[in-house]
Structure 1
Amino acid sequence: MTAAVVCALCYGLATALQARGAAAGPLTGLLRRWPFLLGVGLDLAGFGAQLLALRRLPVFVVQAAQAGNLAVTAVACVPLLGIRLAARHWVAVLAVCAGLAVLGASSGAEQAVTVGGRTRMILLAAALAVALTALISVRLGPPAGPVVQGLVAGLGFGLTALAVRSLPALAPASLVRDPAAYAAAISGTGAFACFAAGLQRGPVTTVAALTVLGETGLPAVIGVLLWHDHPRPGWGGPAALGLVLAVTGALALSRFAEPPQQRDQ
């Protein structure tokens, strides 16, 4: 759980830094801007922490915990981007965090279940589909573009988590032969490209909220189906309430993420 929290902190701050870098000029010049590069470094650190957590916890717990990076992003955007969030935006952030915290608290023990080669091949095919969709979506402009890019980024990051979770071993000799390793690399790259495009063309917290929905919902469902993740006995009701809080808060934040004067510009 400590690793999952560190992951959330790294990802949240990285989002705000990448948004600052993306706002400074064309997408092609991102890799020459220090805020974006620092954000990439934090993303890598966050992914390492997420990898560690995914090896020891149910998928939906890790994804729910790291999805709390939305709150970190909102706070960091105040000094980095000059965004002033209204009270209703903070309420939405708190609802997301509270809902995801309840989901994490309601998690059961990790199931000792592995997936076969066929499932890992399906993950690779899904990763290729996400990459193709990402290639198309990065060309879309506002207002639809950032919404699509945020959702595709979320699905890609969620698929990356599933691919990592399905890896039976992390030894280099095993990874080079495992389709799930390639699925993680392909979906992660496509998701990152979509996320960067969304940050440049849309409100940062809107893109982050939609990404959180995709990267949390997909792994939660697939984790139940593949690894039999489930709430602790007697926690079914709180888990459902946490899910409603998280989804409602994220949707509200995606609609009212920026102050009115910024949305009208």
Structure 2
Amino acid sequence: MVCALGASVCFGTATVLQAMAARAAGEGGTDSGATGAATLLLRALRQWRYLAGLALDGVGFLLQIAALRSLPIYAVGAALAASLAVTAVVASWLIHVRLSRVEWGAVAVVCAGLAMLGLASGTEGDRTGSLALKYAMLAISVAVLLLGLVGGRLPDRGRALTLGLGAGFGFGVVEVAVRLIEDLDLGRLVANPATYALLVGGGAAFLLLTTALQRGSVTTATAGLVIGETIGPALVGVVYLGDRTREGLTWLAVLGFAVAVAGALALARFGEAPATGAESEASESEAAGSPGV
């Protein structure tokens, strides 16, 4: 659980550091289109905050793998969703984003849910997963990749939610695939369909999430992401891999999972770099004046 929470802290903090670097990189102005995006990325890569964020992402991924080797998937998934609470708290400290009482309450709700999960979670299941399950994860990862390739052509209504859910499924494939890789021997890795599911699913998830955040509602996309990367993998872990809770505490695990995910969904607007200063005020005014938001 320490590794899962550590991964959450790394991912949540990385989001804020990368947001600060990207904002500073864009102060000089860039052209629109692919050239402007490439220029912005190169500027960001020259800043220590962006590089530190990438390093934290790498450490977080390693901690995630370690957690998945000893905890049920449902506990790790809920902890990773809680990275939004970390982003909210760190953003209030470093970028001076004002959190409402409701948002501070959501942070407390996430922490309470994780505490319940920590008390109720048992060890990871003892099943290794069938060959059919491994190929199913590979098929899902390919489907997510295909969705990413056509995602930009989806109609505006539902685009962000669809791409966000797809990204969540991709990250969920990564969570399950880690459990389906029993042996790290190179020959066995190459022959294991779960290895390719992990690589394709992770890459496709980043592609879909980037497209969703660029061309749709950040809150909607992030909400879809949280749902996709928690519920499906948790069910796979319980049904196919034997994940269980401590004896007599199944109800507490279910309640903690639901509470943690609900709190993360309440903080979904922190799935992307939060706005600051005038940008924050402008977005709040726009939200207040737009009945569709």
Deviation (angstroms), 1:135: 2.5
1:239 corresponds to 2:253: yes
Match of 2:170 among 156, 171, 195: 156
Q: 1:105 to 1:30 in 2, by over 3 A?
A: farther
Q: 1:142 to 1:30 in 2, by over 3 A?
A: farther
> Normalising by the residue count of structure 1, what TM-score does the alignment of the two structures yield?
0.85
Deviation (angstroms), 1:117: 2.0
Deviates more, 1:52-61 or 1:237-246: 237-246
Deviation (angstroms), 1:74: 0.8
Deviates more, 1:122-131 or 1:195-204: 195-204
Q: What are the within-5 Å matches in structure 2 for residues 128-139 of structure 1?
A: 128-138=142-152
8 A Cα contact 2:125 2:244, kept in partner: no
Q: 1:260 to 1:230 in 2, by over 3 A?
A: farther
Residues in 2 aligned to 1:76 and 1:206: alpha-carbon distance in whole angstroms: 22
- Residues 88-146 of structure 1 show CA distances to partners (whole Å, capped at 9, x for unaligned) of 11212222332233123211222221112222111111100011112233566977544
1:47 corresponds to 2:61: yes
1:248 corresponds to 2:269: no
Deviation (angstroms), 1:30: 5.5
Unaligned runs of 5+ in 1: none
Q: 1:16 to 1:153 in 2, by over 3 A?
A: farther
Q: What are the within-5 Å matches in structure 2 for residues 174-253 of structure 1?
A: 174-201=188-215, 207-253=221-267
AA matched with 2:124: E
Unaligned runs of 5+ in 2: 31-35, 275-279, 288-293
AA matched with 1:15: T
8 A Cα contact 2:128 2:241, kept in partner: yes
Q: CA RMSD in A?
A: 2.9
8 A Cα contact 2:171 2:205, kept in partner: yes
Match of 2:283 among 245, 262, 265: 262
Q: 1:44 to 1:206 in 2, by over 3 A?
A: farther
Please name the residue that 2:4 is paired with.
4
8 A Cα contact 1:141 1:201, kept in partner: no
Match of 1:176, SS?
helix
Q: 1:104 to 1:141 in 2, by over 3 A?
A: farther
Q: What are the within-5 Å matches in structure 2 for residues 132-147 of structure 1?
A: 132-138=146-152, 144-147=158-161
Deviates more, 1:226-235 or 1:144-153: 144-153
1:75 corresponds to 2:89: yes
The alignment covers a number of residue pairs equal to 265
Deviation (angstroms), 1:234: 1.6
Deviates more, 1:56-65 or 1:80-89: 80-89
Please name the residue that 2:118 is paired with.
104
Deviation (angstroms), 1:192: 1.4
Match of 2:232, SS?
helix
Deviates more, 1:47-56 or 1:93-102: 93-102
- Residues 201-245 of structure 1 show CA distances to partners (whole Å, capped at 9, x for unaligned) of 567666545423321212111101111212211212222322332
Residues in 1 aligned to 2:260 and 2:8: alpha-carbon distance in whole angstroms: 15
Percent identity between the two aligned chains: 42
Please name the residue that 2:184 is paired with.
170
8 A Cα contact 1:65 1:104, kept in partner: no
AA matched with 1:11: F
Q: 1:248 to 1:94 in 2, by over 3 A?
A: same
Match of 1:228, SS?
coil
> Normalising by the residue count of structure 2, what TM-score does the alignment of the two structures yield?
0.78
Residues in 1 aligned to 2:145 and 2:242: alpha-carbon distance in whole angstroms: 28
Deviates more, 1:235-244 or 1:195-204: 195-204
8 A Cα contact 2:5 2:79, kept in partner: yes
Q: 1:49 to 1:156 in 2, by over 3 A?
A: same
**Bigger CA radius of gyration:** 2
AA matched with 1:118: A
Deviation (angstroms), 1:157: 0.8
